[in-house]
Amino acid sequence: MPARASGPPTGYETTLRWEGGVEWLVHPEETMQRASQALATDDGVYLVDPLDAPGLDDRIAEMGEVAGVVLLSIYHTRDAGPLARRHDVPALIPAPVPDAELPELAVPVERPDVGASLGEYELLEVAAGSALGAPWFEYALWNGETLRVGESLGTAPYMRVGDERLGVMLMRRFDPPTALRGLDAERICSGHGRGLDEDAAAALEAALDNAREDLPRALLHNGVDQARTILAALRS
């Protein structure tokens, strides 16, 4: 199983669908399990950390016109540029991200502030600064029902240990995203792994509560896979 698939996609797998949103994986076999979502709002459809795939435009068109492409992590550029150009929309990157960390997308970029509204979704700050000495700027979208977080939380196997249904990634277990605590989410989607829509709020609290305590076990069981995903991301 590759850490990060590099071949051209032949299609995509719909992994979660609800009224107002859809999630897909382009390479479900990869360790990283990079997940993307389209969120329908009163402003239009926002594509979040998207990976492109044949046939994707037809699925998005069923939801409405694309309003923008949102990047919630500085490590999730993915296919934001090509999709923004194809739909003639801007890329939205949160304002606190330093100019030095902005990706080269060759499209207009808008910089919404933390607390800004993207349709019915509020832009939340998850982390701004560094993690283990590396720059770390990460954000989330929240509309009172659906939480979409960028990098720190996920359901990909390399992010979970024991009976966790939702896990904190290894690099963030020493400093878990407690800003998300208390959100009564019906579903949680992230940039890695299949979205969770069953007892999601309880899974979120458990993930935050156990993050530090389970750090040694996560390091033992997931350390190699986490290192492989980081190396794969740095090479991309």
pLDDT tens digits, one per residue of 67-103 = 999 999 988 899 999 999 999 999 999 999 999 889 9
Parent domain of 159: 13-235
pLDDT for the residue numbered 236: 46
Determine contact, residues 13/28, Cβ cutoff 8 Å. yes
Long-range CB pairs of 140-144 (<8 Å, 24+ gap) are 140/72, 140/180, 141/39, 141/46, 141/48, 141/70, 141/72, 142/183, 142/185, 143/119, 144/120
At residue 112, the 3 state secondary structure works out as: coil
- What pLDDT, on a 0 to 100 scale, did the predictor assign at position 133? 72
pLDDT at 116 exceeding the cut of 60: yes
How many domains is the chain built from?
A: 1
The CATH number given to whatever domain includes residue 207 is 3.60.15.10
In a domain, 43, yes or no: yes
User: Percent of the chain scored above 70 by pLDDT?
Assistant: 97
Q: Is residue 97 part of a domain?
A: yes
- Strand, helix or coil at 8? coil
Query: Would you say residue 188 lies in a domain?
Result: yes
Give me the phi and psi of 23, to 5 degrees please.
-125, 145
What are 184-235's pLDDT values in tens digits?
999 999 999 999 999 999 999 999 999 999 988 988 888 787 778 766 665 4
Tell me the pLDDT band of 1, cut-offs 50, 70 and 90.
confident
